[in-house]
Structure formats: C-alpha cells, structure tokens
Amino acid sequence: MWKLNVDYVFNGSTDIDHEEGTEIDGKEWKQVTLAGKPPLKISHHQGVVQEKNKELIVYGGLIGIDSSDTIYLVDLNNFNFTPIPAAQQKEKAGKPLPGPRDDFSLISIQGDQGKIKPVYLVGGFKNGTKMNDVYKLHQEGKVF
C-alpha cells in the first residue's frame, strides 16, 4: 500500500487551481507499513475513503484467480487492516449480500460535513458473470 502526502489538491472544488500552488509536483509516494490482517496479493478491487472515520473501505477483487467478498477496513492513522469476511457481514431486510466481486465500482457520495457517507457497490463480475446491480453499504455495522 502506498500513500501520497498532499494537504489539498482540489482547493475545495473539482478544478485544480494552479495559481494557489495546488500542484502535486515534487511530492513523493511512500510505501506504508501494514498492520493487522491485510489481504494477500489482490487486484481488481475497489476502495473508498471515509474521512469522518479516517478509514479506507476496500471490497472484493481477485486473490489469485478467485473473487473475494471480504470487506477490509483500513485505519488511516496506523494502516491497520481489519477484515470482515462474508460470514460476518450482515444483510439488511433479508436481501442477499453482493457476494464475490471484481472489476466493479465502489462509490462514496459527497454528503454533509461530519456525517458518515453511504457507499454503493455497482455492477462488476460475480463468478465470471457480468452484473448490473447496485448495493448500498450501510456504515453503521457495515450492513449491505
């Protein structure tokens, strides 16, 4: 896992303000030391940052040739990984879990300051089959 220390890039908007010194030139990527239980070599996964919790939520991907259905919570203060395997994930209102996924989108919608933002999983591949569904990850208790 790598990080880039940048105080701000977009100056509160989606347009880079070259006049305000928001360039990332000269910044260096650094590999961080991982703690906890990080995944094995993983690809085709997605992650989103939850600023309020200072955590990165990582889901799915390929470990070798197998799709993963594990949620990883990464504490961005110490890069501690906490896995939540499918057996420990909960479903809301009896709806099924998204299951193993790769090559999908994971989206966090911009919300009010200080509130935990919902995360949506969209499409991807499930056991080699292209999907066109949407799941909402409810942050309280990490419930789909």
Is 16 inside a domain boundary? Answer: yes
Q: Residue 112: pLDDT band by 50, 70, 90 thresholds?
A: low
- 65 and 42 within one domain: yes
- 56 and 90 within one domain: yes
Distance CA(123)–CA(125), nearest Å, equals: 7
Is 105 inside a domain boundary? Answer: yes
Is 5 inside a domain boundary? Answer: yes
- 46 and 11 within one domain: no
- 64 and 84 within one domain: yes
CA–CA distance from 117 to each of 34, 112, 120, 133, 138 (Å)?
25, 8, 10, 20, 9
Tens-digit pLDDT profile for residues 15-47: 444 455 445 566 777 888 889 998 888 999 999
Q: Is 18 helix (H, G, I), strand (E, B) or coil?
A: helix
- 52 and 7 within one domain: no
Is 142 inside a domain boundary? Answer: no
In terms of residue numbers, what domain contains 91? 36-137
Contacts of 78 (CB under 8 A, 6+ apart): 35
Q: Is the pLDDT of residue 89 over 70?
A: yes
Is 143 inside a domain boundary? Answer: no
pTM of the model as a whole: 0.79
Listing DSSP states for 48-114 in one string gives: EEETTTTEEEEE--EETTEEB--EEEEETTTTEEEEE-GGG-B-STTPPP--SBBS-EEEE----TT
Q: Residue 87: pLDDT band by 50, 70, 90 thresholds?
A: confident
- 81 and 49 within one domain: yes
- 126 and 58 within one domain: yes
pLDDT of residue 24: 59
Tens-digit pLDDT profile for residues 46-81: 998 887 778 889 999 999 888 999 999 999 989 999
| Number of structural domains found in the chain | 2
